Structure 1
Amino acid sequence: MFRHRDRGRTYYHNVRLAALLSTVAGTVNIVGLLSLKTLTTNVTGHFAYFSEGLFLKNYTLAFTSVLYVLFFFVGAFVANSTMELTSKNKSHFSYMLPISLEIICLAVVAFSDLLLSNILLPLGCILLFTMGMQNALVTKISGSVVRTTHLTGLFTDMGIELSQMLFYKKDSERSRLKKNVFLRVIIISGFFIGGVIGALLHKEYHLRTLLIPVGMLILAIYYDRMLLNYYHWRKKIKLVSRKKRMKQ
């Protein structure tokens, strides 16, 4: 799901990646909104709040909005930088560091009542940083095919592609469009499901609800690691059997 890149990546790898990380994003977004009263996956909204702050001469709001945008940007920068650095040695695990950082950041916010006494500004910055990392990570891995932290572009692309299906008649073109639309539906559905689950559980668990995306990411890393070990084991078995046949 994470380790395949470029030509080794298939459409179904992107579908699984989109389903997982869009659900994570949806959960983080609703928990950030309910607990911190801030958008954690929507940079566009913070630009609107910045403009509102200037208009109302509420410079605290304007400064906070700029800070949130900056942290989202820094998250994207850090994710790509760590992937570039680690891919030189072990390309299969270039995703490990940004995902590990995402897990740590979400866990810190989840237990922030023990660490930061629920100071909203730094917690919001951490979540914006986390979502910036995730957006850069999934964009890098999928070759800019999948983005999971905002829906505006997805609905735009899906509207265009559904319209194109009315005019494109070749089977190859229609097949490509159907796959693209299905991928958009998966992302939107994952974001929606994550939001609903997060909202329902937030009543009881508040910021601890973020432990759900933490658990999902840990399981995803474990699954990818196990799958890689299985492929290595299968290659060794084939190599041993080939050597035996050569000796015979």
Structure 2
Amino acid sequence: MFLHKGKSRTNAHNLSLASLLSLVAGLVNVVGFFSVAVLTTNVTGHFAFMVKEVFDLKYTAALHVFLYVLMFFLGAFFSNFLVEKIYRLRESRMYVIPTLIEAGILLCLGIWGEALLDYSPDLIALLLLFAMGMQNSLVTTISNSVVRTTHLTGLFTDLGIECSQLFFYSDLKKKAQLYRSIRLRLIIILMFFLGGILGGVLFSYLGIGSLLVGGILLIFGLVRDLFKVQHALYRRKRYG
């Protein structure tokens, strides 16, 4: 899921990756909004708010919103920078460190977020935007731009295009590819929605501590991947 790349990646790998990360993104989106009233999985809406503040001559407020956009960008930049750097040192682990950092951010906010709400709620929003920028960059790189999990606008656009193409392709191979792609996008949308529901339910009991679940899910995905790889290597050595 995380460790396969290039030609070794299959549609099953992308489905697993999409399911896990879109679930986490949906959870973070809802918990972040309930906690600090800021959307933290995309920056589209923030641009509209920023322009509004500029036209209202509220430049400090505009700068404030710009920081949200900047942190998402920095998360994406930092994630891919790490991937490229680690690739030159140990290719098989180039996605592990960025995922651990994202999981670490969610776990730290889950543990200490309640205290930060009283002193610096903006720091929570900035860290979540950074984490989601990292995730979006990471999943885009891993899946060769096939999977995106932190926002739905592009997904619904691609889904609409591909559903319309079904009416114009008679080639069975092409249709099969379209069906696989449509299924992948529907799963991402469904898991994002379920993540949001899970986040809402957990928030009513745990508050911002619900982010712990997001971090645990990411670590679970990594451990599962590493276990499967080690198991495959063991079988290869034992049975040839």
- Preserved contact between residue 3 and residue 91 of structure 1 (Cα < 8 Å): no
Instruction: Give the Å deviation of 1:118.
Output: 4.6
State whether residues 78 and 133 of structure 1, in contact with CA within 8 Å, keep that contact through their aligned partners in structure 2. Answer: yes
The two structures, once aligned, show a CA RMSD in angstroms of: 1.2
Q: Which deviates more, 18-27 or 202-211?
A: 202-211
The within-5 A match list for 1:3-42 is: 3-42=3-42
Q: Which amino acid is the alignment partner of residue 188 of structure 2?
A: I
For 2:95, the equivalent position in structure 1 comes to 95
Tell me the CA shift for residue 88 of structure 1: 1.7
- Give how far 1:114 is off: 4.0
The CA deviation at 1:194 is 0.3
Taking the aligned partners of 1:90 and 1:158, their CA distance within structure 2 comes to 36
Q: Larger RCO: Structure 1 or Structure 2 (Cα < 8 Å, ≥ 6 residues apart)?
A: 2
The aligned counterpart of 2:237 is: 236
Q: Report the Cα offset of residue 22 of structure 1.
A: 0.3
Partner of 1:75: 75
Contact kept? 2:113, 2:209, Cα under 8 Å? no
Aligned residues: percent identity? 44
Match of 1:217 in 2: 218
- Looking at structure 1, the residues matched to 54 and 5 of structure 2 have their Cα atoms a distance apart, in angstroms, of 44
What stretches of structure 2 of length at least 5 have no aligned partner? none
State the AA in 2 paired with 1:90: R
How far residue 104 of structure 1 moved from its aligned partner, in angstroms, is 1.2
Asked whether the equivalents of residues 162 and 178 of structure 2 are also in contact (C-alpha less than 8 Å), the reply is: yes
1:48-67 aligned within 5 A: 48-67=48-67
After superposition, where does 1:94-243 map in structure 2 within 5 Å? 94-110=94-110, 111-114=112-115, 117-239=118-240
Q: Cα deviations across residues 119-171 of structure 1 (Å, max 9, x unaligned)?
A: 11111110000000000000010011000011001000000100000111110
CA contact (8 A) 2:50 2:66 kept: yes
| Equivalent pair of 2:22/2:189 in contact (CA under 8 Å) | yes
Letter in structure 2 aligned against 1:193: L
CA distance in 1, matches of 2:184, 2:219: 23
In structure 2, what residue type is equivalent to 1:178? Y
Post-superposition offset of 1:11? 0.7
Which consecutive segments of 4 or more residues in structure 1 shift more than 6 A? none
2-structure distance, mates of 1:209, 1:237: 42
Paired residue type of 1:215? I
Residues 50 and 62, structure 1, Cα contact 8 Å, conserved in 2: yes
Cα deviation digits, residues 206-240 of structure 1 (max 9, x gap): 1001011111111111101111110110111134x
**Max Rg structure:** 1
Q: Give me the whole-angstrom Cα distance separating, in 2, the residues matched to 1:217 and 1:125.
A: 20
TM-superposed CA distance for 1:203, in Å, is 1.5
For 1:43, give the aligned amino acid.
V
TM-score using structure 2 length: 0.96
AA matched with 1:27: L
Contact 1:49 1:61 in 2 (8 A): no
TM-score (norm 1): 0.93
Q: What is the aligned partner in structure 1 of residue 85 from structure 2?
A: 85
State the distance in 2 between where 1:112 and 1:191 align.
Answer: 23
* Distance change >3 Å, CA 232–CA 12, structure 1 → 2: same
Aligned length: 239
Contact residue 112 and residue 118 of structure 1 kept, 8 A: no
**Pair 216,118 (structure 1): closer, same or farther in 2 beyond 3 Å:** farther
Shift of 1:205: 1.0
